[in-house]
């Protein structure tokens, strides 16, 4: 009979939790239905703070940098926002 401790698998320590300000863009995009106009997104989610490579930013400020006024899909919205803020590692506090 196998040892119970071995059957549980290796123990991995995750370390301390590092807080990250803001929420992922994907979470904000998932709360909306598509297609969507930029103005409606600003009305519904403009106050949301999203995580960006340059630190947390309010979605309405980011959308001000986006020239597109209509997003036909979630992916289109995400791509335009990432074009405006960049894509890279998110800084922690």
Within-domain flag for 7: no
Within-domain flag for 93: no
Within-domain flag for 53: yes
Q: For 5-50, what is each residue's pLDDT tens digit?
A: 555 667 766 567 777 788 999 999 999 999 999 999 999 999 999 9
Handedness of CA 26, 32, 37, 43 (dihedral sign): negative
Quote the domain boundaries for residue 51. Answer: 20-85
Within-domain flag for 74: yes
Within-domain flag for 73: yes
3-state SS record for 37-88? EHHHHHHHHCCCEECCCCCCEEHHHHHHCCCCCEECCHHHHHHHHHHHHCCC
Which pair of tokens denotes residue 39? Answer: 């103005």
Which pair of tokens denotes residue 78? Answer: 């995400």
Within-domain flag for 5: no
- Cα–Cα distance between 68 and 1 in angstroms, integer? 64
Q: Global pTM?
A: 0.76
Within-domain flag for 67: yes
What pLDDT was estimated at residue 2? 52
For residue 74, give the nearest of 40, 15, 33 by alpha carbon. 33
Within-domain flag for 3: no
Structurally, the chain folds into a number of domains equal to 1
Give phi and psi for 23, each to the nearest 5.
-125, 155
């Amino acid at each position: 009979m196998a040892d119970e401790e071995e059957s549980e698998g290796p123990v991995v320590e995750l370390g301390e939790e590092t807080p990250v300000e803001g929420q992922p863009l994907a979470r904000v995009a998932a709360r909306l239905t598509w297609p969507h106009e930029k103005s409606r997104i600003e009305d519904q989610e403009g106050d949301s703070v999203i995580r960006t490579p340059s630190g947390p930013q309010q979605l309405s400020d980011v959308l001000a940098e986006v020239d597109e006024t209509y997003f036909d899909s979630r992916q289109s919205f995400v791509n335009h926002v990432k074009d405006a803020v960049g894509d890279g590692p998110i800084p922690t506090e």
